[in-house]
Structure 1
Amino acid sequence: MHIALLALDGVFDTGLTVILDAFGIANRFAAMQKSGGPLFEVSLVGTRRKVRSGLGLPLPVQAITANLKPDWVIVAALNTSTPDRLIPALARKDVVDAKTQLLAWHAQGARIAASCIGSFVLAETGLLDHQQATTTWWLAPLFRQRYPKVALDESRMLVPSGNVVTAGAAMGHLDLALWLIRQRSPELASMVSRYLLADIRSSQAPYIIPNHLAQADPLILRFERWAREQLKHGFSLQQAADALATSARTLQRRCQAVLGKSPLDYFQDLRVERARALVQGSGMDLEAIAAEVGYADGATLRTLLRERLGRGVRELRADLR
């Protein structure tokens, strides 16, 4: 499998190196098991002769030539983690050239993958239109606004859709590399993940901070502040709209546009976040915590935490030991 790893100027160092390390380890293990060449031929390529990482390190990229025909192309993330830095970066000449090259590779039959902010570069090409995708969770509101034709679900860690694959934030680069290794050998992917102490994660949901998502829109931010005061009292859409001096329809529409979910679902996210903080940071028993976030009993809360976070109360508390 020939993989072209596309590195743009200011690439996220950790994302780039973890991909290279994962494939390097996979090739070493594969060589130990049988003779022959490496399973994965990885070419580090750039649209410019000189490319530096986000930390300013020079990268040994090779030129993109007409005879470079990869099976897969991976777009590594730019080290631009805020909208005010990302939006100008997407208009850079090297990024525009990268979009043209991605379309050419795709037309030749290559499959395209991207992780974290790399998914924005991929979305700029239009190849994600009418496809499912994920991205770095804290920029999901910007992604929805900029690419309304993409079916975004930032709660997922990795989303294959057609000939494209997207992965989540930061260390989602590793999840993406392991997924690609698994396409050749599930046993090899398991070995690499154990060697790197990297569990396979299906969801970003446990890592999402609801308040960060709310920052993207003034109305949603006001709703978030109101909702935190109401956690133990329950939720009413009309009550929320009245408190914010807006209509229920407007609040519903804005939540869907910015957060990709209903006001009630976001209210539930805030409940889970508060409950997790109390489970991990207070001496309260589960019944008291349930009452604090508006649930009738601890059993209901226990089930919700397991469903939303993939971990139970004992595991959450063990995280801090």
Structure 2
Amino acid sequence: MKVVVFALDDVFDSGMAVLLDTLATANELAASQGFDKAPFDVRLTGLRKRVRTALGFTTTVEPLDAVRKPDWIVVPALNAKQADSLTLRLQRRDVQEAVEHLQRRHANGINIAAACIGTFVLAEAGLLDGEEATTTWSLAPFFRQRYPAVKLDDSRMVVESGRVVTAGAAMGHLDLALWLVRRVSPELAELVARFMLIDRRASQAHYIIPDYLAHSDPLISKFERWIRDNLSGGFSLLEVAHALAVHPRTLQRRTEAILGKSPLEFVQDLRIERARHLISAGHNLEDIAAEVGYADAATLRTLLRRKLGQGVREIRRLK
């Protein structure tokens, strides 16, 4: 499999390195799995002869156009953690050139993948319009506002949609690299994961901080504070909308536009977050259920499993 890692200036060092290291490890271990030759031909490319990373290192790269017919072009993240700084980076001339390259390659049948902030470059190119995708959870509200045509599910770690694949937050580069290895050989991917001590993570849900997302919008921030002050009570959209002096439909629409979920789902996220903290602290589950607004422990157990993919024992073991 010919894989092109397409790096731009100010590339996130760990993201680029993780992609390269994981595929290199797969090549080293391939012989033990019966491969006659290395399964990956990995090329580091860019728009110029050199790429300068976010930490100030400089590396020589091949021009993207010099690599003919790769199986995959993979875009690692730019180094941006806030919406304002990312907006400036997306306006850069080299990023716009990269967008044009990706549009051309995708139109010619090349598969495209990206992780973390790299997914924004794919979205800028229009490659995700009408498609399912994921991105770094911390910038999901900004992503939804900027690219409303994309079917975003930021709870997922890796999303395959047609000839485009996206992966989640910073270490999603690792999940994306393993996804590529798994396409060649599930057995080789398992071996690489064991050698590199990589856990399988199907979801970002366990890592999401709900109130961090809420602070991206004034109304949602007020909504979040109201929920926390009334966590043990039942939830009524009419009641909370009245308390916030907005129409229920306004709150419904804003929550869906910013967070990609209904008000009730956001309430459940905050309840689960609080419950997880109390479980880790060793509190009784029946008491926890009452504190976070559920009638019994059984309901809470079901939601923990559905939302986090974990039960009470796993949560306490990981505290």
Give the aligned residue type for 2:186.
Answer: P
SS in structure 2 opposite 1:122?
Answer: helix
SS in structure 1 opposite 2:64?
Answer: coil
1:166 has 2:166 as partner: yes
Partner residue in 2 for 1:305: 304
Cα deviation, residue 60, structure 1: 2.5
Deviation per CA, 1:230-266: give whole Å up to 9, x if none: 1100100011101111000000000010011110110
1:19–1:173 Cα contact (<8 Å) kept: yes
SS in structure 1 opposite 2:160?
Answer: strand
1:215 has 2:220 as partner: no
Distance in structure 2 (CA, Å) of the matches to 1:193 and 1:27: 13
1:237 has 2:237 as partner: yes
Distance in structure 2 (CA, Å) of the matches to 1:181 and 1:33: 13
Cα deviation, residue 64, structure 1: 2.5
Distance in structure 2 (CA, Å) of the matches to 1:80 and 1:67: 28
Deviation per CA, 1:45-82: give whole Å up to 9, x if none: 11122211111111221222355321100000011011
Cα deviation, residue 317, structure 1: 1.1
Deviation per CA, 1:107-160: give whole Å up to 9, x if none: 222100011110000000001000000000010100000001000000111100
Is the alpha carbon distance of 1:160 and 1:226 closer, same or farther for their aligned partners in structure 2, counting shifts above 3 Å? Answer: same
Cα deviation, residue 307, structure 1: 1.5
Deviation per CA, 1:173-193: give whole Å up to 9, x if none: 111111111111111111111
The normalised TM-score by structure 1 is 0.97
SS in structure 2 opposite 1:39?
Answer: coil
Distance in structure 1 (CA, Å) of the matches to 2:149 and 2:68: 31
SS in structure 2 opposite 1:79?
Answer: coil
Partner residue in 1 for 2:288: 289
Partner residue in 2 for 1:7: 7
1:50 has 2:84 as partner: no
Cα deviation, residue 298, structure 1: 1.5
Partner residue in 2 for 1:187: 187
Distance in structure 1 (CA, Å) of the matches to 2:49 and 2:239: 58
Distance in structure 1 (CA, Å) of the matches to 2:67 and 2:141: 39
Within 5 Å, give how 1:133-144 maps onto structure 2.
133-144=133-144
Distance in structure 1 (CA, Å) of the matches to 2:306 and 2:168: 20
Give the aligned residue type for 1:118.
Answer: G
Distance in structure 2 (CA, Å) of the matches to 1:35 and 1:144: 43
Gaps of 5+ in 2: none
Give the aligned residue type for 1:296.
Answer: A
Distance in structure 2 (CA, Å) of the matches to 1:35 and 1:161: 29
Distance in structure 2 (CA, Å) of the matches to 1:32 and 1:12: 32
2:33–2:188 Cα contact (<8 Å) kept: no
Distance in structure 2 (CA, Å) of the matches to 1:33 and 1:311: 33
SS in structure 2 opposite 1:272?
Answer: helix
**Identity rate, percent:** 59
Partner residue in 1 for 2:315: 316
Give the aligned residue type for 2:139.
Answer: L
1:51–1:61 Cα contact (<8 Å) kept: yes
Cα deviation, residue 27, structure 1: 0.5
2:95–2:121 Cα contact (<8 Å) kept: yes
The number of residues matched between the two structures is 319
SS in structure 1 opposite 2:159?
Answer: strand
Query: How large is the Cα RMSD of the aligned pairs?
Result: 1.2
The range that moved more, 25-34 or 124-133, is: 25-34
Gaps of 5+ in 1: none
